[in-house]
């Protein structure tokens, strides 16, 4: 390069930043943990990286951080993020379930309770791949919270949440004769929805003259508003479920709820917290601090108990039972609804059934097919997570959401393969620092002369962060 030209070129380092930024700082433990999770997300192959490699990447991202390999190791252990399954918190042992006495099972299916897997569904006879094993409609219909505003203005079915197009003419007169509520603007999409839900609707949403109701409609309206404001699907769902139970004279619904896999949301929270809670699909690191979380649960309980003054005063449901309803709903729901048979399916990462859902599952129901040939006696299994995620991602997600460490055959094989890869890299000698340096240089070369835009997580949208008290499945982005 001619000298004359060189004079006009200013060399800017990519680490160009102000002097004060370069002052060494000791990062907060959450910053370190969140950074490691961000690294894993950006490149899932780093999930199996050694601590020293992770340390190198962290230092590259934050040259001014004063953090040792040892501290990273300790923090990953503390937050349950270590790759050693024995150091991770799980709550499988705290999930209880019982048999559901009146469950009508499909012809080829039976329920077996085992100490290892709790209750599960098993094939009674051979089932050929592709067979429709059963279909079912939700046992508890929970309309999506997002549709609640539409429901309240008569634009979606008040029971199943199905969108109603031009249900009312411009004059506001219902075109769905007999499917509208006489006491409020809400509508049903069909006679069957009205039949299923009419009585409950009246006692939840309208003050009954005469007979004293077990439900308080004013408190319910208040709770609805609160759930919309807080985007708290699970509270909304358990309130509808419990109202259904209170109104169900047959006692079937209560029996089912008592028999389903049950766990307190407080227990689930411990696992979420121990995985740093940073696997939320939307925000990452979406955990409230514990005190804040407890205050919200309590606030929710106070709204909930006002809807059911009788059940709370006679002790049918107390704060702990309420937390158990929340936790149990969260581990059992499928697309916000609860299916009586499907909720018995246990997980493997290589499932033998396909649960077919559609946007219409809420009212049309789900179909369960054999994904492969199933032999008599074999357990039917579904997958709770995306099977294409790496084994470590799957295991974290399963542990945080459902409390167990998966030890299915696919996990075993994937872990073995990973160990093989790790040990072959390790025997390759001094990858470590030299490799990182090389990687850094390559990155610099790639950046050279290019303007790049870094994707910055939009954590500060002004909205209250969604938290895991909602029924979102905590997902690991791939």
Q: Given the rule CB under 5 A, which residues bind Zn ion?
A: 157, 159-160, 162, 181, 183-184, 186, 189, 193, 205, 349, 406, 408, 411
DSSP state, residue 400: H
Helix, strand, or coil here: 230?
A: helix
Listed in sequence order, the DSSP H helices in 403-453 are 409-427, 432-447
CB-based contact 16:9 (threshold 8 Å): no
The candidate with the shortest Cα–Cα distance to 460, out of 209, 284, 227, is 284
Would you say 414 or 431 has its CB closer to Zn ion? 414
Copy the structure tokens of residue 457: 């997580």
Residue 105's Cβ-count burial label (10 Å; 0-12, 13-18, 19+) is middle
Secondary structure (DSSP) of 289-348 = PHHHHHHHHHHHHHHHHHH-HHHHHTTSS-HHHHHHHHHHHHHH-BTTBB-TTGGGPEE-
Would you say 172 or 449 has its CB closer to Zn ion? 172
Q: State the minimum distance, in angstroms, from the CB of residue 430 to Zn ion.
A: 34
Q: State the minimum distance, in angstroms, from the CB of residue 187 to Zn ion.
A: 9
CB-based contact 156:147 (threshold 8 Å): yes
Would you say 185 or 285 has its CB closer to Zn ion? 185
Q: Per 3-state DSSP, what percentage of the chain is helix, strand, and coil (rounded to 5)?
A: 45, 10, 45
Q: State the minimum distance, in angstroms, from the CB of residue 179 to Zn ion.
A: 9
CA atoms within a 13 Å half-sphere pointing along the CA-CB vector of 384: 30
Q: State the minimum distance, in angstroms, from the CB of residue 349 to Zn ion.
A: 3
Distance, CA of 54 to CA of 129 (rounded, Å):
44
Would you say 225 or 459 has its CB closer to Zn ion? 225
Q: State the minimum distance, in angstroms, from the CB of residue 475 to Zn ion.
A: 16
Q: State the minimum distance, in angstroms, from the CB of residue 113 to Zn ion.
A: 21
Q: State the minimum distance, in angstroms, from the CB of residue 186 to Zn ion.
A: 5
Distance, CA of 33 to CA of 41 (rounded, Å):
12
Would you say 79 or 141 has its CB closer to Zn ion? 141
Would you say 183 or 377 has its CB closer to Zn ion? 183
Q: State the minimum distance, in angstroms, from the CB of residue 150 to Zn ion.
A: 12
Would you say 321 or 414 has its CB closer to Zn ion? 414
Would you say 184 or 228 has its CB closer to Zn ion? 184
């Amino acid at each position: 390069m001619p000298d004359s030209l060189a004079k006009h070129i200013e060399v800017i380092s990519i680490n160009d930043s102000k002097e004060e930024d370069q002052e060494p700082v000791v990062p907060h433990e959450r910053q370190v943990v969140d950074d490691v999770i961000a690294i894993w997300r950006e490149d899932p192959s780093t999930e199996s990286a050694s601590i020293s490699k992770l340390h190198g990447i962290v230092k590259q991202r934050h040259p001014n951080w004063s953090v040792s390999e040892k501290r990273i190791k300790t923090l990953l252990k503390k937050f349950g993020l270590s790759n050693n399954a024995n150091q991770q918190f799980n709550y499988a042992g705290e999930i209880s379930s019982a048999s559901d006495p009146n469950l009508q099972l499909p012809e080829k299916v039976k329920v077996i309770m085992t100490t290892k897997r709790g209750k599960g569904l098993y094939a009674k006879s051979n089932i050929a791949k592709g067979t429709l094993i059963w279909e079912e409609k939700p046992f508890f219909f929970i309309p999506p919270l997002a549709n609640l505003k539409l429901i309240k203005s008569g634009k979606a079915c008040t029971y199943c949440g199905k969108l109603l197009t031009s249900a009312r003419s411009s004059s506001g007169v219902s075109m769905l004769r007999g499917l509208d509520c006489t006491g409020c603007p809400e509508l049903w999409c069909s006679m069957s929805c009205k039949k299923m839900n009419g009585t409950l609707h009246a006692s939840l949403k309208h003050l009954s003259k005469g007979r004293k109701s077990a439900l308080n409609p004013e408190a319910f309206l208040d709770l609805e508003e609160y759930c919309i404001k807080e985007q708290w699907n699970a509270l909304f769902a358990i309130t509808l479920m419990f109202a259904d139970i209170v109104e169900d004279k047959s006692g079937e619904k209560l029996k089912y709820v008592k028999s389903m896999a049950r766990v307190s949301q407080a227990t689930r929270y411990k696992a979420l917290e121990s995985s740093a809670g940073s696997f939320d699909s939307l925000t990452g690191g979406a955990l409230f601090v514990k005190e804040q979380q407890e205050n919200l649960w309590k606030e929710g309980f106070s709204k909930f108990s006002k809807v059911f003054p009788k059940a709370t005063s006679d002790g049918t449901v107390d704060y702990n039972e309420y937390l158990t309803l929340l936790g149990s709903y969260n581990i059992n729901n499928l697309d916000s609804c609860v299916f009586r048979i499907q909720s018995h399916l246990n997980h493997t990462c290589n499932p033998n059934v396909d649960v077919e859902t559609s946007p219409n599952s809420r009212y049309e129901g789900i179909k369960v097919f054999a994904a492969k040939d199933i032999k008599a006696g074999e357990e039917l299994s579904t997958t709770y997570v995306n099977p294409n995620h790496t084994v470590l991602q799957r295991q974290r997600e399963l542990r945080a959401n459902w409390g167990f460490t998966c030890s299915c055959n696919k996990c075993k094989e994937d872990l073995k393969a990973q160990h093989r890869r790790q040990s072959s890299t390790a025997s390759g000698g001094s990858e470590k620092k030299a490799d990182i340096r090389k990687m850094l240089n390559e990155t610099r070369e790639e950046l050279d002369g290019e303007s790049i835009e870094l994707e910055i997580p939009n954590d500060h949208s002004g909205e209250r962060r969604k938290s895991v008290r909602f029924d979102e499945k905590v997902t690991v982005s791939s």
